[in-house]
Structures are given as structure tokens and as C-alpha cells.
Amino acid sequence: MDLKGFGMDAVDDADKLPETAINEVTSFFESAPPLTDAAETEICLKEFVDRNTSLSVNGKANRVVCVTSGGTTVPLEKQCVRYIDNFASGHRGAASTEYFLKAGYSVIFLYRRGGCQPFCSLLPDDPLLECFTVADDSIIEMDPLHAETVKKAITETRAAVADGILLKLPFTTIFEYLQILQLISASLRGLGPSAIFYLAAAVSDFYVPWESMALHKIQSASGPLDMRLAQVPKMLSVLRNEWAPMAFYISFKLETDKDILLAKADMALKKYKMHMVIANELSTRKEEVIVVTEQEKVTVRRDSTQAGAEVECPLVELVVDRHSAYIKKVDA
Ligand code: 9Z3
């Protein structure tokens, strides 16, 4: 199994993380408020992965991708009134989920509560108020203008969930996001190279540790707020090196200054040993992205000649192609 020289090396003992990094991660999890539905989430994940493993073709595990989507929040108070947020609508993750499903993958969609959902991009902003009307006899009716869109959103989502190929898990805070990501990685570890982590969520770099967080709403009467944020441990390293080391990894790099974008993406590729880093600039992120690997930099563009075409379509196509090459290499 020769994985070197293809940007696709598995992690060997020399690559193991230093103990300090592991300790930082351990203390982050120990001090985080426990997930309220951890046991239930673990059961859902186990059932989802078992079902997908049993769907395997020629004894090979079915391909599963964990798509993360939306931004994490950092609460400033335990009984949270205020929080710091990260920019992300969740469109990238939701659209990519649809294309992965079309490509035959099963998807664990780890998304920010209230963010964009797969199959729902054509719905109006407030679907409940805009898609329905109340007739004279108080019967609720669908506005014919939106009937097809609503029907498609409901049937496609329900079919994917019922077929056991789409599992949707919501998060809001950085604590929830990282704890659920850890549960997902534990459940996908056994799939080896058949699993992809497609990390499109915008994840907080800084946070207030739970033990030093105010319990009640911070009072403004005491003057300007002086607050020191701790750095979120580099969870990407732990995920890649320890939690699921054989999976295929894709992270995203977002910048507003295009002059530093590619250098930052290159740095992330090397530092976290990603298989692909997808570089995007805030203002053009829906038009084009640059896929950075050890061997190449490929610009992927939305087909602007087609109405409604999305950049995620050719992007996921490229990811699937490189993932197939990775699986072949590992299996050789
Ligand atoms: C991205 O760069 C995503 O493509 C976007 C998608 C968040 C821009 P939308 O959800 O936007 O469609 O509105 N995600 C990663 C952003 C991020 O925080 N990356 C970190 C970084 O750049 C690395 S994990 O340092």
C-alpha cells in the first residue's frame, strides 16, 4: 500500500500529534458543556453507517461523506444572550450535499440550525408565509406559483432520509460542532478511505472556555467589555491524524484578500495534510473556487451560460474523481 507521493499519504507513527496538542483537545472536550442528545446521535450514526456498510458493493464499503455547513457560534454567556458568529449561509454545504447524493454517496450533513438545507435552494426566504395561503373556509392551500418547488423539496429530502442515504445533524455552538464531529469521525473511522470529510463550515478560531464564561447576561453598566478569547485547539490535526486517519480530507480556506488566498491554502494543505484545500474569496465564492492539491491548482467555475448552474456541481465532480483515485491507490 504505497500512499506517498500522491498527496495521499496515510498517517504513520512519525506524524502522530505532540502530546501538548492532544492535551489541549482533551481539555477542550472535558470543559465543554456536554451534548444534550449525544447518546441518541451516536445511535443514529451507528444505524446510518451500518445500513450503508450493508449496502456495500463487492464487499467494498459504500462511500460516505460528512459535509459540514454554516458557521459556528461562540457564546459569551452560559445562559446565552450574546454570541460571536462566523459568516456562512450554509449554501455551499447544502448544494454540495445534493451533488454528492446524485453521485451515489451517502451524506452526513452537519449543519448550522436555521442554515440552508439541501433541495431547498429554490424556496422563497420565508416558505411558510410565501408558499401557502388561507382560503375563505380556513383551509390552507399551496400557492400554485411555488407548488413544484415545495413538492420537490419535500419529496427529495424525505426520499433521501427514508432511503437511509442522508442523515442531518444540527449544531449551533463551537462546542456542539466539535463534539458531533468527533462522534461522526468515530463512526466513519471503520470505513477507511471510503469516507470523505468535506469541511465547508466556517469554524470559530477563538472561544470563551466554558469554565470562565459568565453565567448570566453580561451587564453593560460596568463599562466597556474587556474579554480575552482562548484559541480553539487545532481540531483539524486531531481529526486527520487521530480520529479517522484513512479518510479523504477536504477543507476550505476563505479570505477576503485574494493576494494571500493561495499561499494560505497551500499552508493549510501542508500543515493539516489535507488531500485538497478549496480556496475561495468571499465576494466571488459562488462563481469560482480554486482547488489546491499537492500536484495542482485547478480553477473550478460555475457554468455561467446555464441558468441556475452552481459552482458546487463541477466542484463535487472533481472531488469524486480525486476520491476515486485515492481509494484505488489505497486498495492497490
Ligand atoms: C468556506 O470557505 C465556505 O466555502 C464558505 C461558504 C463559508 C465561504 P456559504 O456557506 O459560504 O455558501 O455562505 N468555508 C470554510 C471557512 C473557514 O472558516 N475556513 C477556515 C479558514 O479559512 C479553515 S477551517 O481558516
- Please report the ipTM that was assigned to this predicted complex: 0.96
Is residue 36 a part of any domain in this protein?
yes
Is residue 65 a part of any domain in this protein?
yes
- Cα 254 to averaged position of ligand 1 atoms, centre (Å): 5
In this structure, what C-alpha cell is assigned to residue 234?
A: 487545532
User: Is the beta carbon of 200 within 6 A of some atom in ligand 1?
Assistant: yes
Residues 51-79 have a mean pLDDT of 86
Is residue 286 a part of any domain in this protein?
no
More confident residue, 58 or 309: 309
| Domain, as residue range, for 170 | 19-121+165-246
Domain count, the chain: 1
Residues 165-178 have a mean pLDDT of 98
Question: Using an 8 Å Cβ cutoff, are 216 and 79 in contact?
Answer: yes
Rounded Cα distance between 34 and 36, Å, is: 6
Is residue 201 a part of any domain in this protein?
yes
Q: What is the predicted pLDDT for the residue at 137?
A: 83
pLDDT at 17 over 90: no
Is residue 227 a part of any domain in this protein?
yes
- Cα 86 to averaged position of ligand 1 atoms, centre (Å): 9
Residues 77-99 have a mean pLDDT of 97
- Average pLDDT over the chain, rounded to an integer: 92
Q: What is the predicted pLDDT for the residue at 13?
A: 56
Rounded Cα distance between 168 and 161, Å, is: 8
| % residues pLDDT > 70 (the chain) | 93
Residue-wise pLDDT tens digits, 244-285: 999 999 999 999 999 999 999 999 999 999 999 999 999 999
Q: What is the predicted pLDDT for the residue at 58?
A: 56
Banded pLDDT at 54 (limits 50, 70, 90): confident
- Cα 89 to averaged position of ligand 1 atoms, centre (Å): 10
DSSP notation for 22-57: HHHHHHHHHHSPPPTTHHHHHHHHHHHHHHHHHT-B
Q: Which residue has the cell 451560460?
A: 305
Is residue 179 a part of any domain in this protein?
yes
Is residue 318 a part of any domain in this protein?
no
Residue-wise pLDDT tens digits, 291-304: 999 999 999 999 99
pLDDT at 173 over 60: yes
Nearest CA owner, ligand 1 atom 22? 253
pTM of the model as a whole: 0.93
| % residues pLDDT > 90 (the chain) | 85
Is residue 158 a part of any domain in this protein?
no
Question: Domain of 218: which CATH number?
Answer: 3.40.50.10300
